[in-house]
Amino acid sequence: MADYTVGLIVGSVSEPSLNRRFAEALVRLAPGAGLTIRDIPIAELPFYGAQYDADFPAVGREFKDAIESVDGLLIVTPEYNRSIPGVLKNAIDWASRPSGQSSLTGKPTGVTGASRGLISSALAQNHLKTILVDQGAPLVGAPEVYIRITDDFFTDDGAIANEGTREFLTAFLGRLHELIRRWQ
Taking residues 125-140, report their average pLDDT: 97
Taking residues 140-164, report their average pLDDT: 96
Q: What is the CATH number of the domain that holds 116?
A: 3.40.50.360
**pLDDT score of 125 more than 80:** yes
Question: Exposed, middle or buried by CB within 10 Å (0-12, 13-18, 19+), for 73?
Answer: buried
> Which structural domain range is residue 177 located in?
4-183
**pLDDT score of 162 more than 90:** yes
Q: What is the pLDDT of residue 46?
A: 97
Taking residues 68-93, report their average pLDDT: 97
Q: What is the pLDDT of residue 117?
A: 87
Number of separate domains in the chain: 1
Count of C-beta atoms within a 10 Å radius of residue 20: 20
Residue 20 region by backbone torsions, left for phi larger than 0, else alpha for psi between -120 and 50, else beta: alpha
pLDDT in tens, 1-19: 679 999 999 999 998 899 9
Q: What is the pLDDT of residue 1?
A: 66
pLDDT in tens, 111-122: 999 999 888 899
pTM over 0.85: yes
Taking residues 79-105, report their average pLDDT: 96
Residues 6+ apart with CB under 8 A from 105: 135, 136, 137
Taking residues 156-176, report their average pLDDT: 97
Residues 142 and 69: their CA atoms lie apart, in Å, by 25
